[in-house]
Structure 1
Amino acid sequence: MLEIERKFLVNSDAYRTEAYDEIEIIQGFLNTDPDRTVRVRLTGTKGFITVKGRTDTDGTTRFEWEREIAPEEAKNLLSICEKGVIRKIRYLVRSGNHLVEVDEFYDENEGLVIAEIELQKVDEFYLKPEWLGIEVTGDPKYYNSQLSKYPYARWKKH
């Protein structure tokens, strides 16, 4: 149950034409402690609860446990989450043998676009689409749990 991923800023909207699907996501956090982040997510007609552990020193790997829950349960849990619910559209793009998830954030995180590539191994080769920009893997300010507390609109410099 390890999640291995790389995170990037996105430098153009070309991913939109390459996407084979898009999903609206609403998520909140029951706990944002880096040792045990607990997320609740509503994606259309599905709900999820996810527990993530602390990220390793290079920022690529951490424990992740996720279970699908009823959408009504997710809505009820979202109502008791910490302040700072996140709303975003996720675009799904195939790149070689990998899936790239591109998140366009809204509300207080509007203007921020982040792409993630999940890997099987830390040093695994992946094709990097041209629209992937600066890598931000391991930078905590780009974690959704932190964006819920310190949104992009409040950053001094973009």
Structure 2
Amino acid sequence: MDKTTPVSSMIRQNGPIKIAAWRLMMEKYQDFYTRFEHEFRTRHGLTVNEFDVLINARPAAQVRQRDLLRSLVISRSALSRLLGKLEDRGLVTQEPDREDQRGVLVALTAEGQRLCDEAAATNAEIILAGFAGLTDAEADEIFELVSKVRPVE
């Protein structure tokens, strides 16, 4: 069975290369995301977003919910629901911020830290497998090139 030609390749042949490059990054992201989704669920009982919360709440001290939100790609209400689920599972704690009564402080429990460490190893395994065809110098070059992409304002 023939593979379908990726949209990025079609754009590269017929359209602006910058749009093709963007599309290729999105296609690669989707490939990784699909693998993360499967492996986190089957190995650790986590969704990608749950892992994202755990890995971003890793500091030894508590993190403000609003600071956590800045690190994630989800809405405030989605984060609140997600934190509630993680708290119900005993993976995080939430408590009012004594210095800012409107704020909420989030911390990993010992179980949350353990699960985060295990899932972080899976995360690294998937990324390193995906980048296995690159040298460190090539990965550094990709980092430098992608760093030049400016955010749209």
Give the TM-score, by structure 2 length. 0.26
Higher strand share: 1
Answer 1 or 2: higher relative contact order, Cα 8 Å, separation at least 6: 1
Give the TM-score, by structure 1 length. 0.25
Higher Cα radius of gyration: 2
